[in-house]
Structure 1
Amino acid sequence: MSVAAKKIAEAEQLVQAAEKSLKTSLLKWVPDYDSAADEYAKAATAYRIAKSFDKSKECLLKAIECYKNNKSWFHAAKSYEQIILICKDLDKLTDVEEYANKACSLYQQHGSPEAAASALDKAAKLTEQKYPEMALRFYQHAVEVIMIEDSTRQASEYSSKVSRILVKLQRYEEATKALKKEIGFYQQTESYGQIGRLVVALVLVQLALGDSVEAEKSFKEWGTCCEAEEVSTLQTLLQAFDEEDGELAAKMLASPFIRHMDVEYAILAKNIPLPKGLEVEKKSGGDNEANSTRELEEEDGDGLC
């Protein structure tokens, strides 16, 4: 008998045991939800090892009902997180949002906002590549949830992911608001070095919007948090836009420290419209956004969180 067949046989026995635990009789008036939940959970694991993913999901849903009947909100939430992984196995990532939100809600009901935010973070990482809009919603929700604990540090981490996805989606007005919110979090923790880097990102986003006036205002407001190289580059960049010097603007946007920012901002810098419509000279063979993404990811390695 193959390993898969053995695991399926094991799972079927566990399901039978779970069903027996739920039965009542003259001497047993209340179903044994605790035992049934444990047996369904073990059956789900066995089915997953056997790559019988639909049956594994079915067992987890039954385990969740048992946990809920016992008011075991934390274990029910953990089971929803297991279903999220099965959605990946089944290549049904569009189903992740439903189960991630249910897991989050149950963790909150249990009084565990950190676990709730963590579940959303895991779901976002799972879906970000194929469904960035969905991942964005997860990170935005995570910021709201973690602030219940007044955990500014973690909120700033999730907020950073919100800002970067908005830039990736070219939703620059929303990205501007998100970056200002992120700056606010770092002001609370007095993380001025982080603020300096965010000022650079904010200026780039506002230039992408074609609003050099707001970009200059942002620099004046928070530029004191920037390091010397950042100050010098931003001053020259803003001057280039003010004087409509496209060549100088292109040179500043290609500066090493901008190219080595998080990949979304580095790509943004390569695509900002230059003064007088001057464009950066294209590389032979074409230099489209996909090529930019690939090049920068190769340079930065783990640029994405």
Structure 2
Amino acid sequence: MTTVGDGLVQKKVSEAQEHIRQAEKSMKTGFLKWRPDFDVAADEYQKAATCYRVAKQLGQAKDYLLKASDCYKENRSLFHAARCYEQIILLLKEQNKTVEMVDFAHRACQLYQQQGSPEAGAGALEKTAKMVESKDPAAAINVLQHAVEVLMIEESSSRQAAEHLSKISRLQIRIERYGEAADTIRLEIGIHQENANGAAIGRLTVALVLVQLVREDSVAAEKAFKEWGNYCDVQEAVTLETLLQAYDDEDWEGVQRALQSPFIKHMDVDYARLANAIPLPEGIKNMPKGATKPTVVSNAQQAYTSPPPEEIEKVKAATIAAGNWPAAGVSNADSKDPPPPFPAHVDDEDEEGLC
């Protein structure tokens, strides 16, 4: 018994086969037809691929989209060839083939660039990145970095490149590539400096400081604040200054208060999560609440502790027995031992130092 679904599949497969026959017919040459009709063939192959897609025969659909793309390339219609690759990416998404999706995204972008449409190529990369970021953030980062490279060639596309960099840094933070995230944020700051976008630089300065603190590099965090802190508004500057000072003082409660500020909590989700990832300052995190930080004096000597009376008496008795203890009533003046020698010469400078 044939169901309605089976009947639809058979109908679409039959339609696809008819389109394929028409495409192959247009590809034939003869005495009066010296060159294949690539446009007609490409159109028929695309129609066949659509029928196979409706019939859920995705492998066949991909094959005929590739044939259509090849026909467009033969006719130098690179824009339409790239569009075929974008349709293949959608087919691969249904099959969860992330690696192939990324590969076809790069190939589509290359065709768009050859056609003179870099913005379309970057758009194809961006759409692919959105499809794969939840399952493979690293692959999404790779695709978006290619999009940034394409857009940076066009001076008019720097704002769009900055948006892609922002997305890249958040993905890098999500997978804990903090060093790469810091580099990406600095690149984005550079673009905003060229476009005189001070407000965006201020927000990115906060993000960069948080990233550096997560990396436990407080020196780099302070350097970032000193370099770009003048772009921060009052709330951003006060928050960062308080945070860095508390971190430098190993004041964990002060660090917590700064990180719990409404300004940081209402940042982008990936940046706001950094507040919970920042490690505690060493040496203060295990102190009881309310305890004061101990004062440490460098090169300090241990305090003198007098020996017990028993030890003193033993030393005294041993000294008397050896004849080295002065007898009672004998002063140092009566002693036969010569007095300690006085320095034969004292410089004038030393005399002045003694006064």
CA deviations 1:108-151 (Å, max 9, x no partner) are 00011101111111111111111111111111111110111112
Shift of 1:55: 1.0
Aligned-residue CA RMSD in angstroms? 1.4
1:61 Cα deviation after fit: 0.4
Gaps of 5+ in 1: 280-305
2:216 partner SS? coil
* Identity over aligned pairs, percent: 54
The amino acid across from 1:242 in the alignment is D
Q: What is the rounded CA distance, in whole Å, between the counterparts of 1:129 and 1:259 in structure 2?
A: 23
**Corresponding position of 1:178:** 184
Query: 1:254·1:270 contact (CA, 8 Å) conserved in 2?
Result: no
TM-score (norm. length: structure 2): 0.76
- CA–CA distance in structure 2, aligned partners of residues 60 and 148 of structure 1: 30
Q: Could you say what secondary structure the match of 2:29 adopts?
A: coil
Which residue matches 1:213?
219
Pairwise CA distance, 1:152: 1.1
- For 1:135 and 1:273, how far apart are their aligned partners in 2? 28
Equivalent residue for 2:25, pick from 20, 29, 39: 20
Asked whether 1:264 is paired with 2:273, we answer no
Rounded to whole Å, the distance in 1 between the matches of 2:169 and 2:110 is 24
Residue 243 of structure 2 corresponds to 237
Q: Is the 8 A contact 1:197 1:226 kept in 2?
A: yes
Give 1:43 deviation, angstroms: 1.4
More divergent stretch after superposition (2-11 vs 78-87) = 2-11
Q: Which residue of 1 aligns with 2:127?
A: 122
Aligned to 1:92: 97
- The answer for the alignment partner of 2:232 in structure 1 is 226
* C-alpha contact 1:250 1:274 (8 A) present in aligned 2: no
Post-superposition, which runs of at least 4 consecutive aligned residues in structure 1 deviate over 4 A?
Answer: none
User: More helix per residue: 1 or 2?
Assistant: 1
Partner AA of 1:221 in structure 2: E
Q: Which has the larger radius of gyration?
A: 2
- Deviation at 1:258? 1.4
Deviations 1:156-208 (A, max 9, x none): 11111121112122121221111111001111111111111100100001101
Q: What's the CA shift for 1:21? A: 0.9
In structure 1, what residue type is equivalent to 2:95?
Answer: L
1:191 and 2:197 aligned: yes
1:139 and 2:148 matched: no
TM-score in terms of structure 1 length: 0.88
* Contact 1:247 1:278 (8 Å CA) reproduced: no
Residue number in structure 2 paired with 1:278: 285
Residue 260 (structure 2) aligned to one of 254, 257, 260: 254
State which of 43, 50, 58 in structure 2 corresponds to 1:53: 58
- Counterpart-to-counterpart distance in 1, 2:192 and 2:52: 46
| Alpha-carbon distance in structure 1 between the residues aligned to 2:44 and 2:15 | 11
Counterpart in 2 of 1:152?
Answer: 158
Aligned length: 279
Q: What is aligned with 1:297?
A: none
Distance change >3 Å, CA 12–CA 210, structure 1 → 2: same
Structure 2's unaligned 5+ residue stretches are 287-355
Q: CA deviation at 1:16?
A: 1.1
> 1:152, 1:188 within 8 Å by CA — same for their partners in 2?
no
How far apart, CA to CA, are the structure 1 residues paired with 2:233 and 2:9?
A: 59
Deviations 1:75-95 (A, max 9, x none): 000110110000011121221
Asked which structure has the greater RCO (Cα within 8 Å, sep 6+), the reply is 1
Q: CA deviation at 1:22?
A: 0.8
Q: How many Å apart are 1:25 and its aligned residue? A: 2.1
What residue identity is the alignment partner of 1:234?
Answer: L
SS at 2:273 equivalent:
helix
